[in-house]
Amino acid sequence: MKGAVRAHWGSRMAFVLAAAGSAIGLGNIWKFPYVAGVNGGGLFVLIYIFCILLVGIPVFIAELYIGQQGQKNVVESFEVLDKKRTVWSFPGYLGLVSAFFILSFYSVVGGWVLDFEYRSLMFQFSGMNHKDVGEILNSLFSNPLRQTFWHFCFVLLSGSVVWAGVSKGLERFNKVLMPSLLVILLGLLGYSFTLPGFSKALDFLFFPHATDISASSILEAVGHSFFTLSLGMGAILTYGSYLSKKESLSRVAFTVAFLDTTIALIAGMIIFSIVFSFDLEPAAGPGLIFATLPSLFVQLPGGSILSILFFLLVTFAALTSAVSILEVVVAFWTERFNTSRHKTTLVVALVVFLFGLPSVFSTNIMSDVKMFGLTFFDLFDKLTSSYFLPIGGLLISLFYGWKLGPKAIEKTFGGPIKFWSTGLLWLTRVVAPLAIFLVLYNMAVGF
């Protein structure tokens, strides 16, 4: 709608569900288990939790505040809080670029999930062993047309939600999907509790084994804490801009961060219980949930249903996150250029679809095309998680801590500076930026 009054969430709960919907996604269910698996488990998980507490939550609050007080999109909120054409709108523009890069591989993985859900519904995994399922994954990877089709479906689904708008699309969608996701997840957790590998999974995830943690594992933990909380590119900022100026933010940030981390850990418990029950490799990489789980599900009583439920859960999680990424671009474009939401969503979705094709082709016809030794899929993932999001988060933190300063923090808490607000002030001024800077510096130059 051109020039319409800005939309707002119908309730505080609607906002929490939408923000949790954005945060809880493929990052929790697909990425966290395999990244924790590749990095040796417990110690990595501990570092990741530290990153969430010391870096993630402060940046989350900063993003929310900028959106809520700016009441504008990812670029113009900075301009409202500082001045027109401020250099501080740079993280906004970087966020727009990140949105396309993330969606380009995110919706391809979303497409794999849709394909596996479809196969589960058709009971195609029945009677298959681990090798057969591996073959299915490989045949999907080597089939550009099939992947393009599912990638298209995923973009179409997420586009339709954004097309419908904030209250009729995003809010309604999250209100139904997020509670369903929670119910399925808890059901699967109850199931994994009965498996022989459950205690080994707990040990793997929560006991810091003396593994070598390299600098790149630490970068991965920092990067993942941004990715999983949807930080550093304006998704939380944009959702925050649909909150009324009066809502207090700190509790919301803690709730979402708590939900996100708990769900990643629960997903890890479920997946590793199965992995260890069948003596499989926890470090299997990106194929972990696709290559191993369906074949294991079918060996379990009621396994076909488990497989349907599991991929449905991942579909919900992926869609509620993808819509928040699309919304960043659509909100910016409609407000900046005064275009209609419907047309803008159509164009942005089309561009996202085309931009995703190099990622689709990364596992087949373009698997040999590499930049910096990485396929497009890996490059887009690495560039965003390891660089763009942390850089965006660093700038957002500095803007909030220094440019807006104590007054903003006082407003965030709705009262004068006390223990928590002083803590937040220095976390956003020094601790979070320094931690991100050191990690980036170490990656670029080495100590």
387 binds ligand PFF (CB under 6 A): no
Which C-beta is closer to ligand PFF: that of 28 or that of 69?
28
Q: What is the distance of C-alpha 355 from the center of its chain? A: 19
In order of 18, 66, 70, 254, 370, the CA distances from 405 in angstroms are 28, 12, 15, 21, 44
- Total residues contacting ligand PFF by CB under 6 A comes to 15
One character per residue 125-164, x = contact with ligand PFF (rule: CB under 6 A): ----------------------------------------
Residue 36: name the closest of 236, 201, 179 by CA: 201
Burial 419-446 (b: 16+ CB within 10 A, else e): eebeebbebbbebbbebbeebbeebeee
Which C-beta is closer to ligand PFF: that of 227 or that of 316?
227
Q: Which part of the chain contacts ligand PFF (CB under 6 A), choosing from 228-236, 243-251, 368-376, 399-407?
A: 228-236
Burial 28-46 (b: 16+ CB within 10 A, else e): bbbbbbbbbbbbbbbbbbb
Which C-beta is closer to ligand PFF: that of 124 or that of 241?
241
The residue of the chain with the least Cβ separation from ligand PFF equals 27
User: Pick from 7, 14, 21, 25: which binds ligand PFF (CB under 6 A)?
Assistant: 25
175, with CB counted inside 10 A (0-12, 13-18, 19+), is: middle
Residue 393: name the closest of 80, 61, 81, 72 by CA: 61
Which C-beta is closer to ligand PFF: that of 107 or that of 228?
228
User: Pick from 14, 23, 195, 427: which binds ligand PFF (CB under 6 A)?
Assistant: 23
> Is 180 in contact with 316 (CB distance < 8 Å)?
yes
> Is 19 in contact with 61 (CB distance < 8 Å)?
no
Residue with tokens 């080994």: 200
The two three-digit tokens of residue 392, written as one number:
């965006």
Q: Which part of the chain contacts ligand PFF (CB under 6 A), choosing from 25-33, 84-92, 129-137, 305-313?
A: 25-33
Region 85-124 residues binding ligand PFF, contact defined as CB under 6 A: 102
Which C-beta is closer to ligand PFF: that of 7 or that of 26?
26
The two three-digit tokens of residue 147, written as one number:
């992947």
26 binds ligand PFF (CB under 6 A): yes
One character per residue 298-337, x = contact with ligand PFF (rule: CB under 6 A): -----------------------x--xx------------
User: Pick from 7, 18, 28, 439: which binds ligand PFF (CB under 6 A)?
Assistant: 28
Which C-beta is closer to ligand PFF: that of 197 or that of 223?
223
Which helix (H) or strand (E) element contains residue 361? none
230 binds ligand PFF (CB under 6 A): yes
d(CA 108, CA 443): 27
- Phi/psi at 417 (5° precision): -55, 125
Residue 210 is classified by DSSP as: -
Shortest separation between residue 231's beta carbon and ligand PFF, angstroms:
7
Which C-beta is closer to ligand PFF: that of 20 or that of 136?
20
User: Pick from 14, 19, 22, 308: which binds ligand PFF (CB under 6 A)?
Assistant: 22
Give the list of residues 6+ apart from residue 258 with CB closer than 8 angstroms, or none: none
Q: Which positions lie near ligand PFF, rule CB under 6 A?
A: 22-23, 25-28, 102, 227-228, 230, 233, 235, 321, 324-325
